[in-house]
Every structure is written in C-alpha cells, then in structure tokens.
Amino acid sequence: MNLLRKPKITTGLDIGASSIKMVQLEKKSDGYILRGLGVKEVPAEALVADEIKDRDTLIFNIQSLVDQVNPKTKDVVISISGHGVITDKISIDKKSGSEAEQAILFEAEQRSPFDVEDVTLDYHIISTSEETGKMDVLLVAARQEFLKNYLDLLNDTGLRPVIIDTDAFAVLNAYEINYDIDPNRVLALVNIGFDTTNVVFVKDKLYHSTRDVAAGTRLIYDTIQKEFRLNHELATKAMRGELETSLDQDMLKATVVSASEELFSGIEVAFSYFKSSARAEQVDWIFLSGGGALVPFLPEFMQAKLSIPVDIVNPLRNIDYDPDEYRQLELERIAPLLTVPIGLAARKVK
C-alpha cells in the first residue's frame, strides 16, 4: 500500500468569450471533491465566434487564473466548439479492432465537409447491437488550423493540454455525474455561451446527437449595454442578475426577450432537426447551463417560447466542497456557468 501516493487531481480549463473558468477535481471512489476553482472575466472582443482575436489578453488572463487557482498546474483538459468542429453519428456493421477503425475512418472521410487532409478526426463507439449486428459511432472532426490556434495559445501560457474535448460532450459528462437519466424522457441539454450554444439530445438514456447554434448571449449583452448605457463591468453584472435593484426590471425583461429572438430561432431549428432525424414526437425536458442560464428572464422566456419545461443545471450537485472556501464566488448562484469546466475536470486522465 502506497500511503504517500498523491491524489489524482484533474484540471478543466474552459476558455470562453466572456470569461475563462478553471476547475480542479479530485476523483474519489464514490465521486469527486472540488480542489480548486476560479473565474476570470475577459473583454468581449478578445475571443469572437470561437476565433482568437487578442492572444495577449487571453494569455495574460489564463496565466492570472492559473496563478490564482494553483500556480503548479501544467496539465489541463480543454474543449472546443463552434464552426471549426463537426460532430456526426453513423451506424455501421459491427466490427472490431483495426477492421472497425478502417471502416469508421472511411465513413468519416465520406461525411466530413472539410478536406480530410485539413482535419483531425476522432471517434467513439456509443453502442453495439447483437440483434441488428450494427454499432453506432460518434465522429468528431476539428479543422487543424482551428485546433492549432488553441494549442499554440495554451503552449504560450505554459500549459499542456492532455485531453481536447468538445463543449457539448463536457456538458453531457457534467450532467451524467450529477443526475440520473430517465430512460422514458427525451432530454435536451442546452448550454448557452456568449457566441455559441451547444444542444445535446439524449434519447433512450443514450447520447443521440448534438448541434451547435451560432448564437449566444452576445447580442443580449450588446443590447443591454446600449439600452442602459453601461460599461463592460456593469453590463456583465446585469447579465448575471446582479443589478436587480439598479435597473428597471420591466425594461430589462423587454430587452432580454427582444434580443434573444435570434438565439431561440437557432435552438428551434436544432430541435426540429432532432425530432425529424430521431423520429421523436417531442423533447420532454430542457436542462439549461452556461452563462445564458444566469441571464434574468431568459430561462422563463425559453420555457414559454418552446413550451417545454426548463430546469437549471447544477454541476456541483454531486460534488463535495467546502462552501466557506468559495464564499466569495457565490457558487450556488454561478454554478451553471461552471458546467463545461466541471465536465472537463471529470474526464479520466492517465
């Protein structure tokens, strides 16, 4: 027995367009313990539509966050999403070993909208059926240039990405460790970020598909900033419901509702596509996460707009932590913002 063995702690780093989040989890036999956490606001123009616009600002803020949470951190799990990433699910004849890999990669080459020479491909076998002799496989393709920009950024901060995930799968991972999935319900996990919204569909208790919507809360932020004449700091606070006594709430509600029409149009298209491809009559429940879950009136408007019950995800639900240690961060309030980094930090790292 090695009594001096160091605990296994994994770091999830979520580089978002409005904030950077870092979470450190220790894996225990019966779950997870929160060992480190930090959130750093970034200028709205530093990262736009998943494209790095201001490298120096991002590098400075990432390094500041690492110094704040744990200066010894080197290995991180990161994620990507948006137009540079494509996910698809295929069904092929059941195979194993190199034969399966060759068949999967052949299918991937036929389906990728990018030139296969310009992408990095990966896959995961979701399920196999002895009855049909088929297996469902998840394909992920990332443009190499898009991926390289993020890897170069991390390299310049002195960090080493040991796993590269997608935001959508990090959301699913965070959900699975905190909630029991009802096999009789069709679920949509909706993660609303600043520029991109990830929608993950779960059917028959299994991952079905994901769609990224090229819209988030940026338009809401821009509109609030303009309508109420707020600087970046105050507009960010308004977006998180921290100016309830300072702003006219009726005007704020009207602003949020009008500015979110484009976002919900994109989500409705994603839902329609899913129902058609999955032959599902309806989505039974929405679990909302990301910064969008904190925007005043947005969850209620989503429920009314889509006529589907909406619950806010708490990714800390099954994670042990000392509330006093993180009192300044008000974890219970900002928890939905931490869904992606918690999903990343819960990944198995060798």
* CB-side neighbour CA atoms (13 Å) of 318: 16
167 and 24 in a common domain: yes
Residue 203 has φ and ψ, to the nearest 5°, of -135, 135
197-203 and 206-213 strand pairing: antiparallel
- Torsion angles phi and psi, residue 176, rounded to 5: -65, -30
Identify whether residues 50 and 73 lie together within a single domain. Answer: yes
The identity of residue 147, as a single letter, is L
Same domain, 273 and 339: yes
Q: Do 93 and 234 lie in a common domain?
A: no
Residues 90 and 237 in one domain: no
The domain total for the chain is 3
pLDDT tens for the chain, 350 residues: list them: 444 556 689 999 999 999 999 999 999 888 999 999 999 999 989 999 888 999 999 999 999 999 999 999 999 999 988 888 888 888 888 888 888 888 887 887 777 666 667 888 888 888 888 888 888 888 888 888 889 999 999 999 999 999 999 999 999 999 999 999 999 999 999 999 999 999 999 999 999 999 999 999 999 999 999 999 999 999 999 999 999 889 999 999 999 999 999 999 999 999 999 999 889 999 999 999 999 999 999 999 999 999 999 999 999 999 999 999 998 889 989 999 999 999 999 998 65
Beta strands at 187-192 and 285-289: parallel, antiparallel or unpaired: parallel
Q: What is the C-alpha radius of gyration for the chain, rounded to an integer number of angstroms?
A: 20
Enter the tokens of residue 125: 């076998």
pTM of the model: 0.92
Same structural domain for residues 117 and 39?
no
Residues 334 and 241 in one domain: no
Q: Are residues 122 and 151 in the same domain?
A: no
CB count within 10 Å of CB 180 equals 7
In a domain, 1, yes or no: no
Residue 241 is part of which domain span? 221-255
Domain containing 135 — which CATH number?
A: 3.30.1490.300
State whether 298 and 266 are in the same domain.
yes
Is residue 169 domain-shared with residue 123, that is, in the same domain?
Answer: no
Q: Which residues pair with 200 in a beta bridge?
A: 189, 210
Residue 3 lies in a domain: no
Residues 126 and 226 in one domain: no
